[in-house]
Amino acid sequence: METREVERRIRELRQRLDAVSQRATAASPERSASALARIEKAVGDLETTVSSQTPNAVGQLIDVVIESTPTQLAYFDSDFNVIYVNSAYASNLGMKRETLIGQNHFDLFPSEEKKAIFEEVRDTGKPLTFHSVPFFPQDHSERDTTYWDWTLIPVVRNQESGLVLSLVDATEGQRMKREIAQYANRLRSLHETDRAILEARSIGDMSQVTLQRLPEMIPCNRAYIVTFDDDGVSASVSAIYDPDEGAVDRLSVEDIERDWAAVLNGSPPLEGALSLNLYAAADAVEDQARPVRSLLQMADVDGCIITPLKTESEWLGALVLGLDKARAISILQEGILREVADRITIATRQARLQNQHQAYAENLEQRIARRAQALRRSRARLKAIFKSVDVGIALIDRETLILETTNPALEQILGYGPNELIGVCLSDLLHPEDRERGTGVRRMLDHPSEASRRRAMRRYVCKDGKRVWIQLTASAVEIDMPRQLAIVVMDDITEQRQTRKALIQSERLAVAGKLAAALAHEINNPLQSVIGCLGLAEEGLRDEGPEAIVESLDLLSIALDELERTASIVAQLRDLQKPPGSEGAEPADLNRLIQDVVRLTRKESQRQRVEIDVHIDESLPQVIIVPDAIKQAALNLTLNALEAMPQGGRLEIRTERAREPSDGVRVSFADTGGGIDPEVLPHIFEPFYSTKPEGMGVGLFVSQRIVREEHGEITVENQFGKGATFNMWLPLDWADQPFETKTEEEQT
């Protein structure tokens, strides 16, 4: 071959390779760039050295160029018989080059459509180019389909026509285009799904909208969303995608919910059933496939996929897809499925939270409405009670200043008109003798840990000057306020005190009657001594001697001592019968008071054969009491102890300092009698309750009242069959004692 002809052939080859390069670059830039660059370099090198090459060498170089290109090249004659193919063409077909040469192309690959194209290029002499033409394998499996850019170029050589076929693999480029389109469609579908979820008004609406969009992203014949109820043992179908509405075999909501309820109750375990797994129709008999058993029985469903709807700590439900074939989905589809499931999970959780919030808000509104109504009723009741109660009520501060409206009862007790008491200090209304003792409100507010209530009995002066006895109960207001406040309840006990005085006086008279015989004997002894002394003195005075006169004077002195002793006994009896007229308390020696009681009951104890053992605490401080009243209470307790030992015994009376319930003194009366019947014990301080036929049942009741008026308390320690001990406790600071835990009125 001449050099000129070689150069012409090289130019022609360059033109054809340029055309192929353009098509290959358009189809798959990355894959063909390096190969085309190598071809360009080879052609360039060929042009620079052609002048020095022999015709055989030029042909060899052309063969090298054709063999090195990734483009598949084949040369056919006019009847489409293979004359030449390069290695890339033979390798792609999986055949040897020698086998292909001489074979008719359409005998190997029958296609009337492509044969017509070959004939058109041969007959017209015009080249044709096609892009991304799919090539389907003989088994027509979609997964093995490839795409090609191919060009047919007519060639005339030595008056013989032929065709050159060039093939460039465009499968990767086509796959990228398809994935980009799928990704764009995925984003669009997910965006539309998100918008639909946001616009949905309920879990059912959200689920239905999601299922309508899902087949656009993942091909499926059937689908449904099931959510687990809050009780954790039942399930509800939120939505079903069942496009063939006229089909006989349709998904049954009841069957789905029943199957999932079995899963929730442990058959099969929830962890095993809820996983991203593929189930085939043949798996319907397996336990793990029970939740989707009804779906796998559909005629157009050969497999299904369960996608769990789950947060970090809670199973919310499942998204189930029915597929026409039991095969795994692609990684892209799996990612779409998980994203859709995540969106459904979030929307379901938000919907549940919204439902819970709405239910809570409605419940809260109802509760608030009920509370408001109850509060209005309560305020109305309290207002009615406040106005109609017969005890006075007021709100005071630390200085006992009345802050708010008082009730009519308090105004009536103190003789003031409406609202006249507002701004008045209760302490200013105290009787002058009681002002120093105060009411104890200030100490209660300053020391809330000691007691939250205080009780005191004080005399108050009314507006018209009248004096009334008031039992005042103060309670601290335990709310966060800038100033310390207390509520005081004031009860007029003037008439009650008069009644109590009458009871005490009757008890005094009853005790005096009991002691009459003993006191008469006690008086008779000194009187007999007086009579004897006076008789002897009279005889001595008849004698005129000085010795007789001195002896008579001694006898008269003895008689005078005996008369003074008699007068003392009569004075004690008189004090016993004297009404308790002293209103105020005074410091008193409790030890001396107890010794007086022992002297008064000495004869009675001797008659009862009872030994009285007295233990006096000489360091005992004085207490502020009404002495006559406390003596009456101690006398009652002593006589009761003597009566409890009709066969004789021992009575131990002890005085001592006591720290409980607070700083004070205690007098105990412990007898060795038979004790108190447990059935009788709860009633011993009740008025008019007595187990003795001749008893009035007021002795212990009056004694307890007396001691409590002194802010003290009488308690009993009982050992049935062995004896009983009565303890009388009196406070040292009785002007400011806590409210008693049990009043006399509560006892009765």
Q: How confident is the model at residue 248 (pLDDT cuts 50, 70, 90)?
A: very low
- Say if residues 603 and 522 touch (Cβ distance below 8 Å): yes
15-29, 136-150, 391-405, 631-645: range with highest mean pLDDT: 631-645
Q: How confident is the model at residue 725 (pLDDT cuts 50, 70, 90)?
A: very high
Q: Please state, in angstroms and rounded to a whole number, the distance separating the CA atoms of residues 543 and 533.
A: 16
Q: How confident is the model at residue 667 (pLDDT cuts 50, 70, 90)?
A: very high
pLDDT of 741 reads 37
Angle at 305 between CA 300 and CA 310, to 5 degrees: 145
Q: What is the mean pLDDT of residues 326-330?
A: 73
Would the pLDDT of 333 be above 70?
A: yes
Return the minimum-mean-pLDDT range out of 129-133, 477-481, 509-513, 613-617: 509-513
Return the minimum-mean-pLDDT range out of 239-248, 273-282, 367-376, 517-526: 517-526
Would the pLDDT of 51 be above 80?
A: no
pLDDT of 743 reads 39
Would the pLDDT of 415 be above 80?
A: yes
Whether the upstream peptide bond of residue 482 has omega within 30° of 0, thus cis, is no
Would the pLDDT of 737 be above 50?
A: no
Q: How confident is the model at residue 669 (pLDDT cuts 50, 70, 90)?
A: very high
User: What are the chain's domains?
Assistant: 3-167 (3.30.450.20), 178-356 (3.30.450.40), 389-486 (3.30.450.20), 493-581 (no CATH), 585-748 (3.30.565.10)
Q: Please state, in angstroms and rounded to a whole number, the distance separating the CA atoms of residues 461 and 69.
A: 127
Q: Please state, in angstroms and rounded to a whole number, the distance separating the CA atoms of residues 94 and 714.
A: 119
pLDDT of 528 reads 56
Q: Please state, in angstroms and rounded to a whole number, the distance separating the CA atoms of residues 677 and 693.
A: 16
516 vs 633, higher pLDDT: 633
Interaxial angle between packed helices 3-27 and 55-68, expressed in degrees from 0 to 180 and rounded to the nearest 10: 10
Would the pLDDT of 414 be above 50?
A: yes
Q: Please state, in angstroms and rounded to a whole number, the distance separating the CA atoms of residues 323 and 329.
A: 10
Q: Please state, in angstroms and rounded to a whole number, the distance separating the CA atoms of residues 107 and 82.
A: 11
Would the pLDDT of 108 be above 90?
A: no
- 443-485 pLDDT tens trace: 777 776 666 677 778 888 898 888 888 888 888 887 766 677 8
Q: What are the residues whose beta carbons fall under 8 Å from the beta carbon of 584, sequence distance 6 or more?
A: 433, 626
Q: What is the mean pLDDT of residues 74-78?
A: 90
Beta bridge partners of 163: 76, 154
pLDDT of 255 reads 81
Q: How confident is the model at residue 49 (pLDDT cuts 50, 70, 90)?
A: low
Q: Please state, in angstroms and rounded to a whole number, the distance separating the CA atoms of residues 239 and 190.
A: 18
Would the pLDDT of 171 be above 80?
A: yes
Q: How confident is the model at residue 286 (pLDDT cuts 50, 70, 90)?
A: low
pLDDT of 748 reads 32
Would the pLDDT of 527 be above 90?
A: no
- 576-594 pLDDT tens trace: 555 554 455 788 899 989 9
Token reading at 570: 């009569």
Integer angstrom CA distances of residue 465 from 225, 415, 418, 458, 460: 87, 9, 18, 15, 9
Return the minimum-mean-pLDDT range out of 203-217, 584-598, 674-688: 203-217
- Say if residues 650 and 664 touch (Cβ distance below 8 Å): no
Residue 235's φ and ψ, nearest 5 degrees, are -135, 155
- 232-241 pLDDT tens trace: 788 888 888 8
10 vs 178, higher pLDDT: 178
Interaxial angle between packed helices 494-542 and 699-709, expressed in degrees from 0 to 180 and rounded to the nearest 10: 100
271 vs 490, higher pLDDT: 490
Q: Please state, in angstroms and rounded to a whole number, the distance separating the CA atoms of residues 109 and 100.
A: 12
Whether the upstream peptide bond of residue 661 has omega within 30° of 0, thus cis, is yes
Would the pLDDT of 97 be above 90?
A: no
Would the pLDDT of 518 be above 80?
A: no
Note the pTM of the prediction, 2 decimals: 0.38
- Say if residues 717 and 695 touch (Cβ distance below 8 Å): no
Neighbours of 488 (CB within 10 A): 22
pLDDT of 613 reads 93
**Within 13 Å and on the Cβ side, how many CA atoms surround 604?**
25
pLDDT of 714 reads 92
